[in-house]
Structure 1
């Protein structure tokens, strides 16, 4: 749609550019567009059939990027903007990776908020019991495990991209962006929420298993009592 040829980039991502636009597609499905003017980005999104007004569930983040040849350092990153002394494809791809990881984290943060609310409802209904509840909890636990696996493996936050080990400037740029965007702190917070949800599910599972054991024990007691009564009745008939 944009008439841009994409090449393999950082960590199985793809990137491409033309005279006005630099495009990066992360391996976890976040699209990053870099251009001189925001109108160019909006026009590109329109060509892709994406409208920021129509999609309420669309997660977006804007981060102004400026080129300043007078910088004493190769880059400067603040909460408000990114400043580069000069443009390079590697630096743009590194910036796109960090910003896309921030967007990806926001996606998982929203998902964990929903799961956290669901786990609270599960704990609040801990006094109820049904034969199908155990199955539903197993499905919920499976969803938790898959979500954690996806977040850890997709966002690439546990290990730095290999290309950064070979370029100190790119590594420093990524580290600074990760600090400003609080990538590692947010990642740890998300994992902590997931661990809390897991503990809640395990607690409810233990209680359900205990209730099931009690239910089976009462069935056994009732069967023994019925057998004793029938035995007494047989004895009385013989007398």
Structure 2
């Protein structure tokens, strides 16, 4: 079996997927949706990642064509994984860096695999967004000596983007807590835990949050400097007004 997971620049609705692929989507793991036909297993994650599982690559490419999703789109984030079925496997599953081997391809197992790969794809999307924010943060710090009060609005907008990125990462990717279904199924929990380890989901998530904290510190530093400049500017205005008042008082006294 072949698995392909991709981040959708324009999220698909469940109705669009059902109509295009002629399948019915049901509520799956962690607010996601899944559906299957004789040749295709589809999982639509709530954070904009679509995962397709099929026996051959042709079925996946045909489904993407029906959904009008092109693999040649610039900046498209995808991950693929081969899934092998071995009924004689001594354990329920075996996961390596190169393949996933299952004793049986149950709907739950495929949904758990799709969730983990989807989280990896979604995390890669945020990693690339963070790289862009990190470069912008560096440019802001490098130009700190020329940063004027008039650019305070620009910095506030940057801080807003940073906060929204952090919020989306924590709330959308669902990496801080295991899916609820895992609490009632030890085998599914072990499969998800193994996949999370192989894909380094927790380590990558912590690294991303660390970058966010560093960018936040840079923004706070620049904001402190701008506020200091603003205070100096106001102090000089007060000094000038006092000086003008003194001069006018002296002139009035001489008259």
TM category, shorter: over 0.9
| 2:167 pairs with one of 146, 149, 159 | 149
Q: Is there any run of 5+ residues in structure 2 with no aligned partner, and where?
A: 1-19
| 1:100 pairs with one of 118, 124, 144 | 118
TM-score (norm 1): 0.96
The equivalent residue for 1:9 is 28
The equivalent residue for 1:78 is 96
> Tell me, what secondary structure is at the counterpart of 2:136?
helix
CA distance in 1, matches of 2:87, 2:74: 39
Higher share in strand: 2
The equivalent residue for 1:190 is 208
CA distance in 2, matches of 1:4, 1:132: 55
For structure 1, which segment, 102-111 or 122-131, has the greater mean C-alpha deviation from structure 2 after superposition? 122-131
> Tell me, what secondary structure is at the counterpart of 1:61?
strand
The equivalent residue for 1:65 is 83
The equivalent residue for 2:62 is 43
| 2:38 pairs with one of 9, 15, 19 | 19
The equivalent residue for 2:181 is 163
> Tell me, what secondary structure is at the counterpart of 1:98?
helix
- 1:52 and 2:80 aligned: no
TM-score (norm 2): 0.91
Count how many residue pairs are aligned between Structure 1 and Structure 2. Answer: 236
Q: Is there any run of 5+ residues in structure 1 with no aligned partner, and where?
A: none
Check conservation: 2:149, 2:230, Cα contact below 8 A. Answer: no
- 1:199 and 2:217 aligned: yes
Larger radius of gyration: 1
Give the Å deviation of 1:208.
0.3
For structure 1, which segment, 19-28 or 223-232, has the greater mean C-alpha deviation from structure 2 after superposition? 223-232
Q: What CA RMSD, in Å, does the superposition of the two structures yield over aligned residues?
A: 0.9
Check conservation: 2:149, 2:226, Cα contact below 8 A. Answer: no
CA distance in 2, matches of 1:132, 1:225: 26
Give the Å deviation of 1:131.
3.6
Matches within 5 A, 1:216-235: 216-235=234-253
For structure 1, which segment, 136-145 or 123-132, has the greater mean C-alpha deviation from structure 2 after superposition? 123-132
CA distance in 2, matches of 1:97, 1:7: 15
CA distance in 2, matches of 1:11, 1:62: 21
- 1:210 and 2:228 aligned: yes
